[in-house]
């Protein structure tokens, strides 16, 4: 599964991530709100999906496990957050913890079985899991609301002060900060020896076994971690939109997430965010009254991505950044 | 018990349709190691062309179906030569992504050309009504499907076991590199196999039009079904695909009759079970 | 150190390992030679745990490891290299060696400390690479290296695991003549207290390196002894080299 492209390897983003970048990140969050106050809804959507796609990146980008069933974990988190608000407490942070827990738990149960497999068998089994979960959610109408979705729960103001209203301001800050924190945490975890171990598993399982590594426990740990963050994404979605639909547990969502990840570049978390933004942006502009036209666009995009060199988007952005830096340097 | 025999018959019919559609995918994945998630598009194409010819242009059933199959085979051969062949060397993930994209494009095209409604395929006189077989009466259409399936199995077996092409095919599945250096024209084998598989899918699309309605989202809707059959049956194994298709067809039909509340839970549970025991396919070790 | 007693294995009707026994002390260099298909790699697979034996026992430092899975044997100090390099192709050499060290000392399970903060681990990784003349390639990935260097990285990984017994499966396989010297040097400089079993076809290397030689043919031991013994052994010459062979 290896192609050596002429472009620099994805994960060559420097390990010592200086604090400058984090400040820029926070600044970006602020700037986006400042310049596009009317677009909080779509930016919130991007932030939530980016967390979901980052969690997918852990499995697919770092460990090499291509899965089409990740939405099951997202949906588990979404329903957990909704049910928590409905029956327990409207506090958003507790609901988010419940969502993370639900995602992690489902990941533990399904992962214990799934992670024993590889390649196509693994892919098929993940599809089976998400289809079964989708089925269960659909049948358990009294809990999940079935086709109509889970609704009728209210979320308390964040920290007791910031209300979730239709203007979406709180929602934006909530999800954007969550994205930031999730990125920081995940980046840190995957820069650890454990992260390196997962990459080793992706590259050559036999080599890892020959080193004495037991692959199964490591992958299971990763799966649970990934599930927790997928659950967080689902929970955020439930809390901000205050409704949970069946599509949050569908095969389509899994497929879309995979597309977003590959679009932006897998293996270093940044690509997940870029890909989500790009995909959502294109969707926003290409979506017309006729949903079939969107299919042409996304279909074409997918086919194109495969023939472009790996990490195309990030490499292109790097070249752009260098050119801008050159210009700035020259005019100074 | 009438219900049991109903389940069996309907299950076998469903299984046969699944087999005819999926066998091409199984052999393609086994031979070229090419994960083609757009295989369903060929079934759809066959159904659409047949529907167009028979319903709109008034062609006789047999001729319409034959031309639909031929058209699909030609289309598949062209696509394989100019597009898909470049994907054989790429990673699994890239193949998955490309073919999903291609599927989306096919769906959008179907909608563009024929609208979003279900395409109906009128059955000819000789396929309507029932026929008495022993103590039972069966709808003729079902009988035709099972007979067609059996015929396909027979022809495939003849092709693979008794012809030169079959030898080339089996050699290539086992070891493409070696076969090539022995003088077997790999490209020809690959292209022909792909085209035959697509033609069979087209036939299956026509035969199964009642069970699996023809509409633009067809390739995506039944994608998982095909993949399950192929994975459980074992890539490249025709007999494995047959066993898997029949087994899963019966399981799915049975659960529809007996436990419809659970939807396709049993189907997927069966799949999980089978894959867990035999990750490389039912008949493989 | 390592004791293999009456190891046997068959696949259906084909006996690939036929009642093979050997023993190895610390610091000993044993060469395993034999014609192709003799079952040398299969034997190594069984000793290292990648293949299960049908009969016989394997003892490592007195402990019976016959039923142990491969990764457990590695942790006890039984390490092997592969005939065809098994490397992570897009991870740099120093990352891979560090990974092996992390595995050895258990820090691989750490999910929070940055891998760059493990000074001692990285120092050790670099020194292992330096010892094998791979220092300049520390930050290169195997996909960008010559094949001979890749084979050396494999040896580096094996050493990083601080083995007590090292099984080298044809370390020279596929290495062009121009790069062979590097590997030879590396082999000369292996730790003195390490017990080494080497499978090789290159007779110069075998006679230079080994203190004892074991000859395998059709899965069974044909002869065992010092290099001189083997050199003079008529049966070995006939089987291995044909009548016109010169040793």
Enter the ipTM: 0.84
Please list every residue in chain A whose beta carbon sits closer than 8 Å to the beta carbon of residue C164.
Answer: none
pLDDT per position as a tens digit, B189-244: 889 999 999 999 999 999 998 888 999 989 988 888 888 888 888 887 888 899 99
Which is it for the CA torsion A124, A129, A133, A139, positive or negative? positive
Q: Is B6 exposed, middle or buried (0-12, 13-18, 19+ CB in 10 A)?
A: middle
Reference C157, options C202, C213, C112, C91; nearest CA is C91
Q: Which chain A residues touch C if contact means CB-CB below 8 Å? A: 2, 4, 9, 15-16, 188-189, 191-197, 199-200, 203-204, 206-207, 209-214, 218, 221
Angle at A166 between CA A164 and CA A172, to 5 degrees: 60
This prediction has a pTM of: 0.85
**How far apart are the CA of B9 and the nearest CA of chain A, in angstroms?**
26
Chain A, chain C: beta-carbon pairs less than 8 Å apart:
102
Q: Cβ separation of A194 and C111 shorter than 8 Å?
A: yes
Please name the residues between 253 and 312 in chain A that touch chain B, using a CB distance below 8 Å.
Answer: 255, 258-259, 262, 292-293, 295-296, 298-303, 305-307
Instruction: Please tell me the distance from the alpha carbon of residue C50 to that of residue C217, in angstroms, as a whole number.
Output: 21
* A184 inside domain: yes
Give the mean model confidence (pLDDT) for residues A296-311. 81
pLDDT per position as a tens digit, C9-31: 888 778 888 888 888 888 889 99
The range of the structural domain enclosing residue A78 comes to 18-286
Output the pLDDT for position C240: 66
* A228 inside domain: yes
Angle at A186 between CA A180 and CA A187, to 5 degrees: 85
Give the mean model confidence (pLDDT) for residues C62-79. 88
Please list every residue in chain C whose beta carbon sits closer than 8 Å to the beta carbon of residue A213.
Answer: 71, 103, 108
Instruction: Please tell me the distance from the alpha carbon of residue A90 to that of residue A98, in angstroms, as a whole number.
Output: 12
B60 CB near a chain A CB, below 8 Å? no
Question: What's A214's DSSP letter?
Answer: -
Q: Which chains touch B (3 or more CB pairs under 8 A)?
A: A
- Which CATH number characterizes residue A133's domain? 1.10.3470
Annotated domain spans of chain B: 2-118+137-277
Q: Cβ separation of A139 and B100 shorter than 8 Å?
A: no
Per-residue tokens: B158? 């003849």
A136 CB near a chain B CB, below 8 Å? yes
Q: For residue C39, name the pLDDT band (cuts at 50, 70, 90).
A: confident
Q: Is B229 exposed, middle or buried (0-12, 13-18, 19+ CB in 10 A)?
A: buried
Residue A275 has pLDDT above 70, yes or no: yes
Residue A26: count of CB within 10 angstroms of its CB? 13
The CATH fold of domain C2-241:
Rossmann fold (3.40.50)
Instruction: Please tell me the distance from the alpha carbon of residue B222 to that of residue B267, in angstroms, as a whole number.
Output: 13
Rounded to 10 degrees, what is the CA torsion of B148, B154, B156, B158? -150
B143 CB near a chain A CB, below 8 Å? no
Give the mean model confidence (pLDDT) for residues B74-89. 92
Q: Is A251 exposed, middle or buried (0-12, 13-18, 19+ CB in 10 A)?
A: buried
The packing angle between helices A71-87 and A215-241, to 10°, is 50
Number of domains observed in the structure of chain A: 1
A184 CB near a chain B CB, below 8 Å? no
Output the pLDDT for position A81: 93
Q: For residue A1, name the pLDDT band (cuts at 50, 70, 90).
A: very low
DSSP characters over C162-177: --SEEEEE-TTTT--H
What CATH number should be reported for the domain whose range is B2-118+137-277? Answer: 1.10.3470
Reference A150, options A79, A85, A94, A87; nearest CA is A79
Instruction: Please tell me the distance from the alpha carbon of residue B71 to that of residue B89, in angstroms, as a whole number.
Output: 27
Instruction: Please tell me the distance from the alpha carbon of residue B67 to that of residue B60, in angstroms, as a whole number.
Output: 11
């Amino acid at each position: 599964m290896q192609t050596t492209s002429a472009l620099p390897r994805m994960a060559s983003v420097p390990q010592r991530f200086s604090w400058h970048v984090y400040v820029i990140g926070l600044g970006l969050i602020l700037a986006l709100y400042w310049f596009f106050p009317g677009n909080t809804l779509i930016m919130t959507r991007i932030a939530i999906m980016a967390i979901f796609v980052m969690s997918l990146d852990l499995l697919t980008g770092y460990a090499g496990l291509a899965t089409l069933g990740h939405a099951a974990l997202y949906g588990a988190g979404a329903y957990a957050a909704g049910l928590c608000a409905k029956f327990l407490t409207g506090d958003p942070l507790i609901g988010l913890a419940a969502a993370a827990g639900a995602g992690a738990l489902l990941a533990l149960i399904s992962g214990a079985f799934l992670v024993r497999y590889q390649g196509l068998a693994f892919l098929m089994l993940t599809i089976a899991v998400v289809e079964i979960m989708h089925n269960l959610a659909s049948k358990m109408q009294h809990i999940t609301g079935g086709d109509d979705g889970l609704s009728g729960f209210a979320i308390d103001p964040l920290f007791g002060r910031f209300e979730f209203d239709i203007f979406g301001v709180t929602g934006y800050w909530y999800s954007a900060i969550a994205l930031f924190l999730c990125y920081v945490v995940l980046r840190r975890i995957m820069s650890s020896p454990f992260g390196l171990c997962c990459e080793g598993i992706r590259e050559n399982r036999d080599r890892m076994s020959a080193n004495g590594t037991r692959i199964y426990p490591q992958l299971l740990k990763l799966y649970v971690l990934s599930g927790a963050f997928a659950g967080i994404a689902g929970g955020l979605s439930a809390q901000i939109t205050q409704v949970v639909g069946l599509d949050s547990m569908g095969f389509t969502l899994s497929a879309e997430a995979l597309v977003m990840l590959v679009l932006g570049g897998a293996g270093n978390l940044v690509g997940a965010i870029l890909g989500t933004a790009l995909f959502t942006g294109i969707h926003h502009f290409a979506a017309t009254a006729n949903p079939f036209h969107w299919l042409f666009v996304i279909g074409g995009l997918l086919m194109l991505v495969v023939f472009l060199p790996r990490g195309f988007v990030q490499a292109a952005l790097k070249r752009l950044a260098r050119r801008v830096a050159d210009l700035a340097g020259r005019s100074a | 018990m009438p219900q049991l025999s109903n389940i069996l018959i309907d299950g076998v019919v469903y299984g046969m349709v699944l087999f005819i559609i999926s066998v091409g995918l199984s052999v393609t994945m086994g031979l070229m190691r090419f994960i083609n998630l757009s295989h369903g598009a060929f079934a759809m194409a066959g159904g659409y062309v047949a529907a167009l010819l028979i319903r709109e242009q008034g062609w006789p059933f047999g001729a319409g179906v034959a031309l639909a199959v031929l058209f699909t085979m030609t289309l598949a051969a062209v696509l394989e030569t100019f597009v898909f062949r470049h994907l054989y060397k790429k990673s699994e993930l890239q193949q998955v992504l490309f073919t999903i994209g291609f599927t989306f494009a096919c769906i959008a095209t179907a909608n563009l050309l024929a609208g979003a409604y279900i395409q109906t395929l009128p059955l000819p006189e000789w396929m309507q009504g029932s026929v008495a077989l022993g103590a039972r009466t069966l709808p003729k259409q079902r009988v035709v499907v099972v007979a067609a399936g059996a015929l396909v199995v027979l022809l495939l077996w003849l092709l693979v076991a008794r012809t030169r092409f079959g030898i080339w095919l089996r050699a290539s599945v086992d070891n493409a590199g070696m076969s090539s250096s022995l003088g077997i024209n790999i490209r020809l084998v690959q292209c022909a196999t792909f085209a035959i598989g697509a033609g069979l899918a087209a036939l299956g699309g026509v035969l199964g039009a009642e069970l699996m309605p023809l509409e633009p989202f067809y390739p995506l809707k039944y994608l998982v079904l095909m993949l399950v059959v192929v994975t459980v049956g074992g890539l490249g194994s025709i007999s494995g695909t047959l066993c898997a298709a029949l087994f899963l067809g019966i399981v799915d039909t049975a659960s529809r009759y007996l436990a419809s509340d659970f939807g396709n839970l049993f189907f997927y549970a069966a799949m999980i079970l089978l894959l867990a025991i035999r990750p490389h396919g039912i008949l493989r070790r | 150190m390592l004791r293999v007693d009456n190891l046997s294995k068959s696949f259906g009707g084909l006996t690939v390992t036929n009642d093979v026994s050997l023993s190895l002390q610390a610091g000993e260099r044993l060469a395993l030679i034999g014609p192709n298909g003799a079952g040398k790699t299969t034997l190594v697979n069984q000793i290292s745990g990648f293949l299960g034996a049908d009969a016989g026992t394997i003892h490592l430092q007195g402990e019976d490891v016959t039923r142990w899975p491969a990764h457990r044997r590695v942790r006890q100090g039984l390490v092997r290299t592969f005939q065809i390099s098994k490397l992570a192709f897009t991870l740099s050499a120093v990352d891979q060696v560090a990974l092996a060290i992390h595995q050895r000392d258990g820090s691989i399970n750490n999910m929070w400390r940055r891998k760059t903060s493990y000074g001692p681990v990285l120092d050790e990784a670099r020194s292992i690479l330096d010892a094998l003349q791979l220092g300049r390639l520390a930050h290169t990935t195997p996909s960008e290296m010559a094949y001979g260097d890749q084979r050396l990285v494999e040896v580096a990984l094996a050493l990083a695991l601080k083995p007590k017994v090292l099984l080298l499966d044809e370390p020279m396989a596929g290495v062009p003549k121009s790069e062979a010297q590097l590997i030879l040097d590396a082999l000369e400089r292996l730790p003195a207290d390490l017990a080494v079993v080497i499978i090789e076809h290159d007779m110069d290397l075998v006679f230079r390196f080994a203190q004892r030689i074991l000859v395998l043919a059709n899965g069974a031991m044909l002869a065992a002894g010092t290099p001189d013994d083997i050199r003079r052994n008529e049966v070995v010459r006939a089987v291995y080299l044909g009548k016109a062979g010169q040793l």
